[in-house]
Structure 1
Amino acid sequence: MNTRDLSQTPIAADGTFEVQLQKSGQTLQVSKDQSILKVLQDAGHDVPFSCSEGICGTCLTKVVAGQPDHWDMYLTPEEQEKGDCIMVCCSRSQTARLVLDL
C-alpha cells in the first residue's frame, strides 16, 4: 500500500497509526497510549512543545496527508476542519497514516 492509500484508510481498531516524517521519510508507529510528541522525542526528534495539553500552540505541526483527530483547545473549529495542522502533544489520527512536515 502506498502513502496515499494509508493516509485515506481509517485508523486501526487497536488505535495505532503511523506518522511519516516527510523531510526524512522516517515512519514511526504511535500506539493508543502514546502521544505523537512522545514518539517523535523517543526517535530523537527535537520538537518544540510547552504545555503538552493542546492549549499553547507551541507544537503546531503542518499535516501533509492524512486526517488529524484534534484533541486540542488551541485551533478554532474551522482550523481543525481544514486538517492541515495538528498539535502533536495531544492530538491523534483518524487515518492509518499521518504525513507531517517534519
Structure 2
Amino acid sequence: MPANRTALSVLAEQRPETGYSCRQGFCGTCRLPVLAGEVAHAGSAAARRSDANMLVCVSRATADGGRITLDV
C-alpha cells in the first residue's frame, strides 16, 4: 500500500463492499481483525484499544516496513 493512502482507501477501491461510516461520523465501523503483523494505531483511544483489530481509516503497519494481514 502506498504511504500516501490509507488502508481504507485501498480496500474500498479493491472491495467496494467494505463497510465504513467514519466519514459520516460513526467511528469504529471500519474496524477489521488483524490476523498477522504489528499495527501502528492512530486515532482515538478506542481505536488503539486492541492489537487484534485495527481501524483501517487511520491505522497502518508499523514504520519498520512490516506487513499486516487483515481478515476481510
Instruction: Give the TM-score normalised by structure 1.
Output: 0.58
Compare the two structures and name the one with the higher strand fraction. 1
Identical residues among aligned pairs (%): 29
Which residue number in structure 1 is paired with residue 71 of structure 2? 101
8 Å Cα contact 1:56/1:74 also seen in 2: no
RCO higher in structure (CA 8 A, sep ≥6): 1
Partner Cα separation in structure 2 for residue 66 and residue 39 of structure 1: 18
Task: Find the structure with the greater CA-based Rg.
Answer: 1
Q: RMSD across aligned C-alpha pairs, in angstroms? A: 2.2
The unaligned stretches of length 5 or more in structure 1 are 1-29
Aligned pair count reads 69
Partner Cα separation in structure 1 for residue 40 and residue 61 of structure 2: 5
After TM superposition, the runs of 4+ consecutive aligned structure 1 residues lying more than 4 A away are: none
The unaligned stretches of length 5 or more in structure 2 are none
Alignment of 1:14-93 (within 5 A): 30-52=1-23, 56-73=27-44, 75=46, 79-80=49-50, 83-93=51-61
